[in-house]
């Protein structure tokens, strides 16, 4: 359940956040996995690629990032002169945790003939050891620009890497990480749900294991899932990703039924991202009021991490000046 908008001793949090956003010349960026109250007041809601492009292009002085820490770090890497605040600095990511930088550096060193294509869900230090960063919405386009015989390490998500291996016919070497949220979907429960709604297509995020993706009609990033759900002629759609994205679907198509894919217990509570949930309206208000917690990065790491991120934006056709300045 969302925190009520009025709290912190009777403050109207939405009004206070609006006031502070103007005073600070701040832009509020939010991922689709944030709670509806945060999504609704954000200047822009998007997937990881869109949020990175916005962060690189904004002319605001402050970026209030409502997402997880690696996303806010990307904003700081790309816009070092901005103050980047994250409502809760503990908002990590299980994929980031699965890939410690020292272990990754050793893995790279053991495969000197491979380039490192790294999913954006990782620390700045891992990015600094990478050649090109990808998101789920940019990986295919970027892979299409690399020779087929190019040897590639893909980290940290083994499910996403396996999906792109299947899609592109490559044989990337996969780091054995996974997202706890997308690994919690149950094939048995999904098939039970599908039997109840046989005409409902399944849209899944490629962080899901193959036993879920095998049943999907659409596999894509959060934005791709949202676009599919809205464009589909189906009246009912099964959504196999973090369920807060359903808020945008319901807003845009209130006549349709969107059902979150179930976990092993038959409901989807286990598929809520515990890290995204750490950000609340209260914490966003306090962050804008106190201008902290702030993302601070060691400059050498930031510069090294920026190179593969710039390559991603370039190869994905999302460099600054291509219409990324506008709001939602």
* Minimal distance, residue 57 CB to ligand 13P, in Å: 17
Dmax (CA) of the chain: 62
- The binder of 54, among ligand SF4, ligand 13P, none, by C-beta within 5 to 8 A per type, is none
Q: Which of residues 165-204 bind ligand 13P (CB under 6 A)?
A: 179
- Structure tokens given for 184: 């919690």
Q: Which of residues 148-207 bind ligand SF4 (CB under 6 A)?
A: 179-181, 207
State yes or no: residue 68 binds ligand SF4 (CB under 6 A): yes
- The binder of 276, among ligand 13P, ligand SF4, none, by C-beta within 5 to 8 A per type, is ligand SF4
| Whether the Cβ atoms of residue 154 and residue 166 lie closer than 8 Å to each other | no
- Residue 43 or 157: the one with the smaller Cβ distance to ligand SF4 is 157
- Structure tokens given for 273: 């991202």
Could you give the CA distance from residue 24 to residue 174 in angstroms, rounded to a whole number?
43
State yes or no: residue 135 binds ligand 13P (CB under 6 A): yes
Nearest to 306 by CA among 26, 292, 314: 314
ω into 22 cis (within 30 of 0)? no
State yes or no: residue 276 binds ligand SF4 (CB under 6 A): yes
State yes or no: residue 222 binds ligand 13P (CB under 6 A): yes
State yes or no: residue 122 binds ligand SF4 (CB under 6 A): no
- Structure tokens given for 211: 């036993």
- DSSP string for residues in 140-202: HHHHTTS-TT--EEEESBHHHHHHHHHHHT--PEEP-B--TTGGGB-HHHHHHHHHHSTT--E
Strand duo 11-12 + 6-7: pairing: antiparallel
- Residue 56 or 179: the one with the smaller Cβ distance to ligand SF4 is 179
**Span interacting with ligand 13P, options 131-139, 144-152, 183-191, 250-258, rule CB under 6 A:** 131-139
Q: Mapping DSSP to helix (H, G, I), strand (E, B) and coil, where does residue 84 land? A: strand
Q: Which of residues 1-60 bind ligand SF4 (CB under 6 A)?
A: none
| Options 48, 58, 98, 130; binder of ligand 13P; rule CB under 6 A | 48
Contacts with ligand 13P by CB under 6 A lie at: 47-48, 121, 135-137, 179, 205, 207, 221-222
Q: Which residues bind ligand SF4 (CB under 6 A)?
A: 68, 93-95, 121, 179-181, 207, 242, 273, 275-276
């Amino acid at each position: 359940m969302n925190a009520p908008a009025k709290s912190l001793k009777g403050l109207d949090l939405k009004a206070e956040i609006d006031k502070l956003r103007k005073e600070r010349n701040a832009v509020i960026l939010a991922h689709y996995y944030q709670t509806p109250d945060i999504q609704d007041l954000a200047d822009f809601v998007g997937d990881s690629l869109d949020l990175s492009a916005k962060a690189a292009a904004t002319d605001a002085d402050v970026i209030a990032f409502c997402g997880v820490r690696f996303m806010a770090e990307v904003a700081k890497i790309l816009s070092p002169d901005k103050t980047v605040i994250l409502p809760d600095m503990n908002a990590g990511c299980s994929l980031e945790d699965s890939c410690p930088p020292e272990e990754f550096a050793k893995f790279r060193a053991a495969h000197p003939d491979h380039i490192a294509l790294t999913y954006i869900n990782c620390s700045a230090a891992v990015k600094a050891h990478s050649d090109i960063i990808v998101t789920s919405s940019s990986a295919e386009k970027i892979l299409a620009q690399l020779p087929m015989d190019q040897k590639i390490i893909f980290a940290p998500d083994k499910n996403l890497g396996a999906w792109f291996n299947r899609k592109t016919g490559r044989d990337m070497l996969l780091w054995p990480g996974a997202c706890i949220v997308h690994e919690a979907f149950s094939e048995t429960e999904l098939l039970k749900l599908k039997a109840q709604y046989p005409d409902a297509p399944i849209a899944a995020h490629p962080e899901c294991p193959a036993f879920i993706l095998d049943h999907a009609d659409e596999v894509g990033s959060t934005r791709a899932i949202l676009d599919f759900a809205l464009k589909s002629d189906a009246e009912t759609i099964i959504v196999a990703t973090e369920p807060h994205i359903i808020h945008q679907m319901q807003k845009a198509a209130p006549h349709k039924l969107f059902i979150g894919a179930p976990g092993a217990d038959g409901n989807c509570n286990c598929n809520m991202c515990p890290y995204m949930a750490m950000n609340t309206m209260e914490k966003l208000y306090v962050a804008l009021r106190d201008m902290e917690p702030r993302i601070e990065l060691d400059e050498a790491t930031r510069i090294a991490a920026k190179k593969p991120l710039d390559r991603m934006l370039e190869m994905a056709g999302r460099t600054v000046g291509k219409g990324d300045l506008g709001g939602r």
